[in-house]
């Protein structure tokens, strides 16, 4: 897993508008973004019966991991299984592609096929944790993302908002699955970079009286189930 630096800042509505204007003037929109420079993300997060991933996040445990499955803009033609890790203030991610049938099987608890998933060790790792630790789908997290990139420093800046929860539902492939706003959850500015953060990016994302925090969309949605 390759690790990168990461900042997160919860932001209010006026901050969001200000940042959007600044970022559009300084950085390039991510070419993967859709119309309007944004896309929707729907994720299904996993946790064990003791809610270890949730508790480690809330307690600020230095080394931790969590699993999720996600797709974009309602397109189930590309579904990703991801393992996200944190260590020493750095973040990293591994991902592999799942078919819609494989993703639905995991949701349904049909995991016997996973040890034979070919050259996808991440699928095998999730299977092992589902068998030994009782890892299971917990909740749907859905939001809109506006992404920007800066090639020097391998920087990616995102604005995430309209964060919604599926409560206790896990049928995230169902387009008719209802999600609701996750209370008064703020929008989130995320800044990720590799070897260095260019000054122009640092200056662009600065907000008065805002500090990096350990905000988690998963934790915000788990309040509801």
Q: Tell whether pTM > 0.85.
A: yes
pLDDT for position 200:
96
**Three-state DSSP class for residue 136:** strand
Q: Report whether pLDDT(212) > 70.
A: no
The label of the residue with tokens 């809330």 reads 58
Task: Give the pLDDT confidence of 142-185 residue by residue, as tens digits.
Answer: 999 999 999 999 999 999 999 999 988 899 999 889 999 998 88
Arithmetic mean of pLDDT over the chain? 92
Task: Give the pLDDT confidence of 113-130 residue by residue, as tens digits.
Answer: 999 988 999 999 999 999
Rounded CA-CA distance 25/20 in Å is 9
pLDDT for position 137:
96
Task: Centre a 10 Å sphere on the Cβ of residue 143 and count the other Cβ atoms it contains.
Answer: 21
Find the mean pLDDT for residues 92-96: 95
Task: Give the pLDDT confidence of 14-51 residue by residue, as tens digits.
Answer: 999 999 999 999 999 998 888 889 999 999 999 999 99
Question: Which of the two residues, 207 and 25, has the higher pLDDT score?
Answer: 25
pLDDT for position 211:
66
Q: Report whether pLDDT(220) > 80.
A: yes
């Amino acid at each position: 897993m390759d690790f990168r630096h990461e900042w997160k800042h919860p932001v209010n509505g006026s901050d969001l508008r200000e940042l959007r204007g600044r970022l559009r003037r300084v950085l390039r929109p991510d070419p993967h973004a859709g119309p309007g420079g944004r896309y929707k993300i729907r994720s299904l997060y996993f946790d064990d019966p003791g809610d270890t991933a949730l508790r480690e996040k809330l307690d600020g445990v230095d080394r931790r991991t969590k699993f999720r499955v996600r797709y974009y803009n309602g397109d189930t033609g590309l579904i990703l299984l991801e393992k996200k890790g944190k260590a020493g203030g750095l973040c990293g991610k591994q991902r592999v592609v799942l078919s819609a049938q494989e993703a639905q099987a995991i949701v349904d608890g049909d995991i016997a096929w996973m040890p034979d998933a070919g050259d996808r060790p991440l699928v095998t790792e999730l299977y092992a944790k589902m068998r030994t630790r009782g890892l299971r789908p917990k909740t749907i997290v859905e939001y809109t993302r506006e992404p920007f990139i800066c090639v020097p420093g391998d920087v990616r800046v995102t604005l995430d908002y309209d964060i919604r929860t599926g409560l206790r539902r896990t049928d995230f492939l169902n387009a008719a699955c209802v999600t609701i706003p996750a209370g008064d959850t703020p929008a989130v500015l995320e800044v990720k970079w590799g070897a260095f953060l260019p000054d122009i990016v640092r200056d662009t994302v600065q907000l008065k009286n805002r500090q990096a925090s350990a905000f988690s969309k998963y934790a915000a949605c788990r309040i509801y189930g």
